[in-house]
Amino acid sequence: MDKEESLCTNTWTQTNRGNGLQTNLSSDPSSSDYGVRVETPFKDFNQPSQMQSLLSKNVTKIAVQENCAPSDLSGTNILQNWDASLMLNNLSFLEKKVHQLQEIVCLIASQKGQTFGERNELLTQEQQLITSDLTSIIVQLISSAGSLLPSARHTLTNTSPLIQQLCQLQGITVPSASGSGQSSVQPQINGANKLSESSVQNDQSNNCELEQKYKVEEHELKDEEDGDDGENLLPGSYEILQLEKEEILAPHTHFCTICGKGFKRDANLRMHMRGHGDEYKTAAALAKPHKESESQPELIKRYSCPYAGCKRNKDHKKFQPLKTILCVKNHYKRTHCDKNYTCSRCHIKKFSVMADLKTHEKHCGKDKWLCSCGTTFSRKDKLFGHIALFQGHTPAIPMEDNRRTTCLPDHDNQDNSKARGMSFSFGLNPSSENGVQNVMDVKGNMDDPVTCFSPLNFEANFGGYNEFTQPQFDDSEGSFSFLIPESFKSGGVSSSDNVL
Amino acid sequence: MSESLLCVLTEDLLIRVLHHLHSHADRKSWRLVCKHLHRVESLTRTTIRILRIEFLLSLLHKFPNIQELDLSLCPRIDDGAVRIMLTQGSPTWTRGLKRLLLSRATGLGHSGLEQLVRACPLLEAVDVSHCWSFGDREAAAISCGTGLREVNMDKCLGLTDIGLARIAVGCSRLQSLSLKWCFEISDLAVDLLCKKCLHLKFLDVSYLKLLIWFSVLTHHPIPLIFGLMFIFCCFTTPERVEITSESLQSIASLLNLEVLVMVGCSLVDDAGLRYLENGCPLLKAIDVSRCNCISSSGLISLVSGHQDLVQIGAGYCLSELSAPLVHCLKNLKQLSVIRIDGVRVSDFILQTIGKNCKSIVELGLSKCVGVTNMGIMQLVSGCDSLKILDLTCCRSITDAAISTIADSCPDLVCLRLESCDMVTENCIYHLGSSCLLLEELDLTDCSGINDTALKYLSGCSELLRLKLGLCTNISDIGLSHIAYSCPKIAELDLYRCVYIGDDGLAALASGCRKLMKLNVSYCNRITDKGMEYLSHLSELSELEMRGLSNVTSIGIKAVALSCKRLADLDLKHCEKIDDSGFWALAFYSQNLRQINLSNCNVSDVVLCLLMGNLKRLQDAKLVHLFKVTVKGVELALRACCGRIKKVKLQSSLRFLISLEILETLQARGCKVRWD
């Protein structure tokens, strides 16, 4: 315990110094303490190096704890061969630690009445340490439980996903630490988005703000609903909540983090929160909604779909829980509800979640890359990747870019040829009626592929100019012979001129 | 008597004899001997080139064993014609067809193409090059031929990645693909192609849009704005350039590739060539001409990876041929063709090439800077197997160098000396006495060439192609030397040889009976008499006679009457020819395929007649016809619009000609150029 405390104070002073520096750096010296307190998380957020140090301290502390408990035997190889006595040791150690923590929390609670000003800041630091301790306890708890299952060994050797989750958890409980945890461990979450989001809601209390942030992130990453399958939470290591169908479909946007009940307005949620205990009745308490749960290690909450037989339903053999209430909502609507929102552009695609419709409408019509299998792609390279992957698939050619129709409509042709005949008779020497006839024929030809081989064509052509006496052309026979090959008389000689 | 003699020969023997006849004229004579020989010829014939669609069906009946059908010179091939061919022709003709040549068949639509391709189960090759209106649909039609090995889609301007992907997926056995000038193709499709068509041996990606644009800029002013936009994109986002290398990376994965042509791919850089260094193990020939972004180091890495390289084309891509690169070339034992046009070279470099690349057969040094007598002499002293040497515009070359070439390279077949001003009769003497195998000689713009030189040259009796354009010092006397000693000449260029007159043409007509291509533009001494001499050249198919101000209708009528094979005629600025001359053309020159009537004295009626009557006409240039009205042009266009593929008109007519005609032309696959 002493060792623990000294360690704690050590890290605390260090971080405190860091924060002091931050405070000094802040340009306005007259800023209230409260202001500083609110400010620091964001400063921290902007300074990844310090974040790193904070985080690394947490991690090293976990390591130290493991070292100081020899029964734990920090390696993973030991966990592989499980025996009961070792487990017992682990559990007793954990129990001790929980007690220690309990005492610290009690101490803080007793100090709480007197703490103001700078003490308040110290308090935050202490809370951080408590949560990190809690984290380590949960890690150990899970790891010792995991040693029971050989299949879970892999996740133990690679603890990073666990830490990641825990840091998320930490984020919910303690605002200042959460920033660091997310930013360093979860780089895929858009930091800029978070920043802007938080700056918008700067006036709110830290806690609410972070909750908001979380919702936003969940909304952004709504596809994670199916992507969280790999989290490998052990059955029983989390609490399963199942909301009723009516509740899921209610148009709520604010959810109670304790019981999961949804509300239309944040104010209503606050009213509701009061029912969870007296501590929610003050503004200060509102900033720490998880205080109650800190006294005992809180179970991770996961959600179940109320639809029987669904893989997301807790009674399913291969149950895969849903991470958040929003996931539940989206999942339920997508899989078990009618698709009521139709795209206003294509009038084909239907959605049950409004956000999906919006996303689709953003890209609707841009999916111009179509495969022969019917799949559409918004990007050409995606289509080509698809084609390269699947044997026999080819890109489909869209119908609308039919540049050149090979055959003009029939009535058009009729009109055209008539018009041409007319105009020609104006231009040509009116004395030769044959000439008119002949050119009309020429036109008939080009519109109708059959008539272009007609023998009339040739005769007519020379009708107008028969004053030109000339040797018999191959043409005369040829144009006959095209349709009636039998009439080909001296074919060998005449046709030989027409082939190379 | 003779017939009975022929009856003794079995068909087997006749077929053997027939195999040795290659020229069209010889085969024609063979066919005319007797029915028996005609039948043998018909049965053994495997390739056929249709000149007029009217005869197509009967010809298909006549030649039952056709494997290659060439419709590229046939006007009016459209979907309807294809339908008739397939429904009314003999049912078996498509069964054995392996090659289908449809180059410039712009009237064909995708449905007709698809019907054709589907009807030929053994089809191996399709050529639709220069069908500028073709695009993805046509590519999709081609992709129905699953057995295709060879596809040529040069200048199918509408082809995009989608179309290429169709071909890549549909024709997985593809071995040869040419995509020159398909500007819409990007690296994506090239990548897919390389993944799907693993048997590719030949690939031409010259002037592809993503890989180039610079040369598009210089060659085609119209897409300038797009080019600029593209370049902007390239320079602002460097990963664009990366894509190009990626394309080469995927090409490098082709294990069977032997020939890679990528002329004018300005975004290909050394990094891309380095991908090739380790890929394409069978690469035999590569052409990186006009790839502005590559340097010697890239070429060195390429060369060091492929020791079996036979052919290298690197013109206009390096500023200077560096010594290390030449050093690398030394290791290529098989190297036989090098083209390094437009590169700065030095005597030392040429000497190194001469010393090390002993097996070189073809060397292109066109427009190279720094080519001197000394360099050439050192070069050729080593390369005695040289057959083709291009020294175009190497202006400091003199007689000494050419004489050395003549002495050291007895096998020389082709020598190009355009604009080598210092060349005189002295070196031609050496050529005429030593290089007896010479077939092609380009002396364009060599003012040192005179009648004596031509007399010496007449020793090269194998000459096929001779270019004497702008050699203003030659006269009829010199030409008659050539005419009497070089009977094989098929192509002769006398552009602006102003002292050439009727006598020279008389000598040509009597000596060079095989002349097919003749250019007598601006030889103003030529009169109707000369044209009458020319009319004896029965093989003549291309005649360019611009600006012959002394030739009248009588002369052109003589040519039209006798030169039955005349296909390409340029009469620009022949202002003395009047309507009667053009009437004669309209009625007698039924094989005319291209005609240039710019600045001619033709009237409305005769123009209409000409355009309507010439059934094979595919390309007409009708600019500055001062006697023709807008109405006349419209009527002429209407008269020919079913078959014409390209027409050049005065730009002032652009908004005077009715839109409907232009649209019809467009719809029939005819391209209108505005001058």
Q: What is the percent of chain B with per-residue pLDDT over 70, rounded to a whole number? A: 94
Residue B163 pLDDT grade (very low, low, confident, very high; cuts 50, 70, 90)? very high
Count of beta carbons in the 10 Å neighbourhood of residue A263: 18
Q: Which residue has the higher pLDDT, A268 or B298?
A: B298
Cα–Cα dist B403/B414, whole Å: 15
Integer Rg of chain A from CA: 40
Query: Does the structure show a pLDDT above 60 at A336?
Result: yes
- CA distances to A24, A210, B389 from A33, rounded to whole Å, are 12, 20, 90
The lowest-confidence range among A432-446, B175-189, B522-536 is: A432-446
Chain A nearest CA to B170, separation (Å): 8
Query: Does the structure show a pLDDT above 90 at A15?
Result: no
Chain B nearest CA to A186, separation (Å): 28
Mean pLDDT score across all residues of chain B: 88
Backbone angles phi, psi at A414, to 5 degrees: -55, -50
Q: What residues are paired with B543 via a beta bridge?
A: B518, B569
Cα–Cα dist B507/B306, whole Å: 52
Query: Does the structure show a pLDDT above 70 at B210?
Result: no
User: Taken in order B598, B604, B610, B611, is the CA torsion positive or negative?
Assistant: positive
A442/B564 touch (CB, cutoff 8 Å), yes or no = no
Q: Which residue has the higher pLDDT, B211 or B115?
A: B115
Chain B nearest CA to A198, separation (Å): 33
A397/B188 touch (CB, cutoff 8 Å), yes or no = no
Query: Does the structure show a pLDDT above 80 at A454?
Result: no
Output the pLDDT for position A229: 47
* Cross-chain CB nearest to B80 (options A381, A449, A485): A449
Instruction: List CB contacts of B440: < 8 A, sequence separation 6 or more.
Output: B413, B414, B415, B416, B463, B464, B465, B466
B54–A contact, CB cutoff 8 A: yes
B666–A contact, CB cutoff 8 A: yes
Residues B440-475: pLDDT tens digits? 999 999 999 999 999 999 999 999 999 999 999 999
A2–B contact, CB cutoff 8 A: no
Residue B200 pLDDT grade (very low, low, confident, very high; cuts 50, 70, 90)? very high
Output the pLDDT for position A316: 86
B604/A468 touch (CB, cutoff 8 Å), yes or no = no
What is this model's ipTM? 0.82
The lowest-confidence range among A165-169, A462-466, B283-287, B640-644 is: A462-466
Average pLDDT of the residues in A50-65? 44
Query: Does the structure show a pLDDT above 90 at A444?
Result: no
Residues A140-155: pLDDT tens digits? 777 766 666 554 444 4
Count of beta carbons in the 10 Å neighbourhood of residue A126: 18
Average pLDDT of the residues in A5-10? 43
Output the pLDDT for position A412: 38
B67–A contact, CB cutoff 8 A: no
Output the pLDDT for position A369: 85
Residues A404-424: pLDDT tens digits? 433 333 333 333 333 333 333
- CA distances to B429, B450, B597, B641, B648 from B619, rounded to whole Å, are 42, 37, 11, 11, 8
* Cross-chain CB nearest to A388 (options B192, B608, B643): B192
* Cross-chain CB nearest to A403 (options B54, B158, B631): B158
Output the pLDDT for position A472: 37
Chain B nearest CA to A373, separation (Å): 13
Output the pLDDT for position A177: 38
Question: Contact B218/B204 with Cβ under 8 angstroms?
Answer: no
Output the pLDDT for position B223: 37
Chain A positions touching B609 (Cβ under 8 A) are: 465
Average pLDDT of the residues in A62-84? 46
Query: Does the structure show a pLDDT above 70 at B296?
Result: yes
Output the pLDDT for position A287: 54
Name the B residues in 177-236 with CB < 8 Å from any A CB.
188-189, 191-192, 195-196
B165/A384 touch (CB, cutoff 8 Å), yes or no = yes
Question: Contact B165/A387 with Cβ under 8 angstroms?
Answer: yes
Nearest 5°: CA angle at A348, between A246 and A322? 35
Average pLDDT of the residues in A292-316? 75
Query: Does the structure show a pLDDT above 60 at A346?
Result: yes
B166/A397 touch (CB, cutoff 8 Å), yes or no = yes
A259: its two tokens: 């019981």
Output the pLDDT for position A87: 75
Mean pLDDT score across all residues of chain A: 58
B639/A482 touch (CB, cutoff 8 Å), yes or no = no
A481/B50 touch (CB, cutoff 8 Å), yes or no = no
H helix count then E strand count, chain B: 29, 24
Output the pLDDT for position A118: 54
Average pLDDT of the residues in B241-245? 49
Q: Which residue has the higher pLDDT, B655 or A452?
A: B655
- The label of the residue with tokens 């399709």 reads B126
Output the pLDDT for position A103: 82
Q: What residues are paired with B125 via a beta bridge?
A: B99, B150
Output the pLDDT for position B529: 95
Output the pLDDT for position A283: 67
Residues B36-90: pLDDT tens digits? 888 888 888 889 998 888 888 888 888 888 999 999 988 878 898 899 888 887 7
Cα–Cα dist B404/B397, whole Å: 11
* Cross-chain CB nearest to A500 (options B49, B57, B137): B49
Residue B566 pLDDT grade (very low, low, confident, very high; cuts 50, 70, 90)? very high
Cα–Cα dist B164/B456, whole Å: 54
- Among B500, B498, B617, B639, smallest CA distance to B569 is for B617
Residues A481-498: pLDDT tens digits? 333 333 333 333 333 344
DSSP B281-345: TT--EEE-TT-TT--HHHHHHHHHH-TT--EEE-TTT-SB--HHHHHHHTT-TT--EEE-TT-B-
Chain A positions touching B669 (Cβ under 8 A) are: 404
Q: Which residue has the higher pLDDT, A458 or A395?
A: A395
Query: Does the structure show a pLDDT above 50 at A23?
Result: no
Residues A206-216: pLDDT tens digits? 444 444 444 43
Output the pLDDT for position B177: 96
H helix count then E strand count, chain A: 24, 8
Output the pLDDT for position B553: 95
The lowest-confidence range among B96-110, B186-200, B219-233, B577-591 is: B219-233
Output the pLDDT for position B356: 85
> CB-based burial of residue A148 (10 Å sphere; 0-12 exposed, 13-18 middle, 19+ buried)?
exposed
